C-alpha cells in the first residue's frame, strides 16, 4: 500500500513539473498568424503591402520572447508596424522596457500607436508619449494619417482607449462612437482603424470601417479546443471576440492575442501572437 502511495505521489509531482514546463514554453514561444485582406478600395500600388500588428506587449520581461519577436519583425520586412494598445503594463509602469523594444524595431518600418486601457491608468502617460515621439512613433490619438505610395493612398485611423475619458456616466460604446465621428474620415478611401477594444465591433460595422485592428482580449487567456477563449476583459466568460478574423457587412476586424500578460500571469493553449497582414486589391 505504501508503495502505491509513493507511485501516486511521484506521478502527481511529475505531472506538475511537466505542466510547469508546458506553460513556460507556451508563454515564451511566438506564433505567427498571417492574414490576407482583399478589398477593391485598396489601390494597385498597395497590392502585397505588408503590415505587422503588435498588441498588448505589456512590458514583457521575457528576453527570449522579445528577441524572437524582434528577429521575426526584421525577417518579415514589413511596410508598416501598427501597435494597438497596452504597450506598457500599468502595474509595473516600466516605460523603458517598452521604449527599448520600440528602439529595436523602429528601423524596420514606420510605426503607429494607439493607447490601451493600461496607458489610460498611468499618471505618466505623457512621458511615454514623449519617448515614443522621440523614437519616431506616430501617435494616433483620435487622428487620421495618410499612407502614400506614388499618387495613391490609404488611411490609418486611430482612437484613444475609452478609459482615457474619465467619466463614469458615459459608456465605452458612446465614447468610441464620438471618437470615430470626430475623425471625419473619407469612406471612399481604404481605412484601417486602430482601436484597442474588440468588443465594440458593432460600432465599427455601423461606421463601415474597412479594416479594424484590435487586441485587449489576450486570446481569452485560456483557450479551450473547439470552444475558444475562456475569459476576456469587458467581455466576461466565453467572450465572442478573442482571436482571429471577424467579418460583418463591409467591415473586417482582426483581433490579436497579444504578446504579454497582465493580471493573469500565464496563458494556456494560447501562445503570444504576432499578426502579419498582407493587403490585396481585387
Question: What is the pTM (predicted TM-score) of this model?
Answer: 0.94
Q: For residues 77 and 159, is the Cβ–Cβ distance under 8 A?
A: no
Q: What is the average per-residue pLDDT within 60-87?
A: 97
- Band (pLDDT 50/70/90 cuts) for residue 1 is low
Query: How far is the C-alpha of 31 from the C-alpha of 22, rounded, in Å?
Result: 15
**Between residues 199 and 1, the one the model is more confident about:** 199
Task: Report pLDDT digits (tens) over 163-184.
Answer: 999 777 899 999 999 999 999 8
Between CA 211 and CA 71 the distance in angstroms is 26
- The percentage of the chain sitting over the pLDDT mark of 90, rounded to a whole number, equals 84
Under 8 Å between Cβ of 211 and 191: yes
Here the cell at position 255 is 483581433
Contact 57, 260 (CB under 8 A): yes
**Each residue of 220-258: pLDDT tens digit?**
999 999 999 999 999 999 999 999 999 999 999 999 999
- Confidence at residue 264, expressed as pLDDT on a 0 to 100 scale: 84
Surface-to-core class of residue 237, CB atoms within 10 Å of its CB (0-12 exposed, 13-18 middle, 19+ buried): exposed
What pLDDT score was predicted for residue 174? 96
Sketch the domain layout of the chain as residue ranges: 2-280
Q: Which CATH number fits domain 2-280: 3.60.21.10, 3.30.70.20, 2.30.40.10, 3.20.130.10?
A: 3.60.21.10
pLDDT tens per residue, range 14-58: 888 788 777 888 889 999 999 999 999 999 999 999 999 999 999
Amino acid at each position: 500500500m505504501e508503495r502505491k502511495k509513493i507511485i501516486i505521489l511521484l506521478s502527481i509531482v511529475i505531472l506538475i513539473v511537466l505542466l510547469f514546463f508546458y506553460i513556460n514554453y507556451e508563454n515564451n514561444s511566438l506564433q505567427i498568424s498571417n492574414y490576407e485582406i482583399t478589398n477593391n478600395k485598396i489601390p494597385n500600388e498597395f497590392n502585397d503591402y505588408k503590415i505587422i500588428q503588435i498588441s498588448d506587449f505589456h512590458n514583457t520581461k521575457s528576453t527570449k520572447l522579445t528577441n524572437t519577436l524582434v528577429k521575426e519583425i526584421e525577417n518579415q520586412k514589413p511596410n508598416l508596424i501598427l501597435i494597438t494598445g497596452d504597450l506598457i503594463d500599468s502595474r509595473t509602469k516600466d516605460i523603458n522596457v517598452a521604449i527599448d523594444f520600440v528602439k529595436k524595431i523602429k528601423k524596420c518600418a514606420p510605426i503607429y500607436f494607439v493607447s490601451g486601457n493600461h496607458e489610460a491608468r498611468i499618471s505618466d502617460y505623457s512621458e511615454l508619449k514623449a519617448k515614443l515621439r522621440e523614437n519616431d512613433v506616430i501617435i494616433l490619438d483620435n487622428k487620421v494619417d495618410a499612407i502614400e505610395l506614388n499618387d495613391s493612398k490609404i488611411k490609418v485611423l486611430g482612437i484613444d482607449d475609452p478609459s482615457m475619458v474619465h467619466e463614469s456616466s458615459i459608456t465605452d460604446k458612446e465614447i468610441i462612437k464620438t471618437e470615430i465621428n470626430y475623425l471625419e474620415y473619407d469612406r471612399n478611401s481604404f481605412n484601417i482603424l486602430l482601436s484597442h477594444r474588440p468588443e465594440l465591433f458593432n460600432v465599427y460595422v455601423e461606421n463601415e470601417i474597412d479594416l479594424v485592428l484590435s487586441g485587449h482580449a489576450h486570446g481569452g487567456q485560456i483557450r479551450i479546443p473547439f470552444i475558444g477563449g475562456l475569459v476576456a476583459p469587458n467581455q466576461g466568460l466565453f467572450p465572442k471576440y478573442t482571436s482571429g478574423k471577424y467579418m460583418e457587412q463591409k467591415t473586417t476586424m482582426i483581433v490579436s492575442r497579444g504578446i504579454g500578460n497582465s493580471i493573469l500571469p500565464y496563458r494556456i493553449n494560447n501562445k503570444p501572437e504576432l499578426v502579419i497582414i498582407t493587403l490585396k486589391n481585387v
